[in-house]
């Protein structure tokens, strides 16, 4: 299973990546990845993939505190 966090702009993707990388929690590791076209046309062409899909709630919480709430959280098989 892959877990993608989508955002409205590339700027937000990069800011979210930096925010998650600067946390001490190893479970919040992520990498930028192309957003599958099937998800939506209303979001950026890049998204963040969490390397530990079980950490989605923690990642979203950290991003909300940094005013970087993802546009969507998508589980892909």
Q: What is the pTM of this model?
A: 0.91
> Which residue positions in the chain have pLDDT lower than 70?
none
| Location of structure tokens 């530990």 | 52
Residue 74, pLDDT score: 94
Contacts of 30 (CB under 8 A, 6+ apart): 5, 16, 17, 20, 21, 48, 49, 50, 51, 59
Residue 24, pLDDT score: 87
Residue 65, pLDDT score: 97
Per-domain residue ranges of the chain: 2-76
Instruction: Give me the chain's average pLDDT, please.
Output: 94
């Amino acid at each position: 299973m892959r877990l993608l966090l989508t955002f409205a702009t590339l700027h937000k993707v990069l800011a979210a990546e930096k925010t998650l990388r600067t946390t001490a929690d190893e479970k919040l590791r992520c990498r930028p990845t192309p957003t599958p076209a099937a998800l939506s046309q209303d979001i950026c062409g890049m998204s963040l993939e969490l390397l530990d899909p079980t950490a989605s709630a923690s990642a979203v919480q950290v991003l909300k505190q940094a005013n970087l709430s993802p546009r969507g959280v998508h589980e892909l098989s």
